[in-house]
Each structure stands twice: as structure tokens, then as C-alpha cells.
Amino acid sequence: MKIVDGDKAECARCESVLPLEAVSLLEKETNRDYERVLCAECLDAVGVPRGYSLRRDITHLGG
């Protein structure tokens, strides 16, 4: 996951930089080391595959 300027994140798919409030975090349930930030548009395209969980609020990661 790439946090930019403390309160923004880069989408792992389209590489857009958005506020933390506008992105979600896709995690592999069996391996918390696999985390990908996705914007709403990319999340709609990818969905949440089986075996993954979605965190919509990641604002606590900002600094």
C-alpha cells in the first residue's frame, strides 16, 4: 500500500492518488501481507474475490 502525503493513497490498479476517504483496502484473509488499495471505480471492476476481505474505512492509516 502506498500512502502519499499522509492523507492520500495510490490505487494499486489505476495508480490514481485519492484521499483515504475515497479508497478501500482489499486484503487476502489468509495472509494480511497482501493488501491492495483500490479506488471505487477499480473496486467496481474487480469486485471482492473469494478469500479476500474489504475494508472501506482506512482513514486511521493516515498520518
The whole-number pLDDT of residue 28 equals 87
Q: Please give the Cα distance from 58 to 38 (Å, whole number).
A: 11
The whole-number pLDDT of residue 32 equals 60
Angle at 22 between CA 8 and CA 53, to 5 degrees: 105
The three-class DSSP label of residue 26 is: strand
CB contact at 8 A, 39 and 4: no
The whole-number pLDDT of residue 63 equals 67
The whole-number pLDDT of residue 5 equals 79
Angle at 17 between CA 12 and CA 21, to 5 degrees: 95
The whole-number pLDDT of residue 17 equals 95
The whole-number pLDDT of residue 31 equals 58
Q: Where residue 14 falls among pLDDT bands split at 50, 70, 90? A: very high
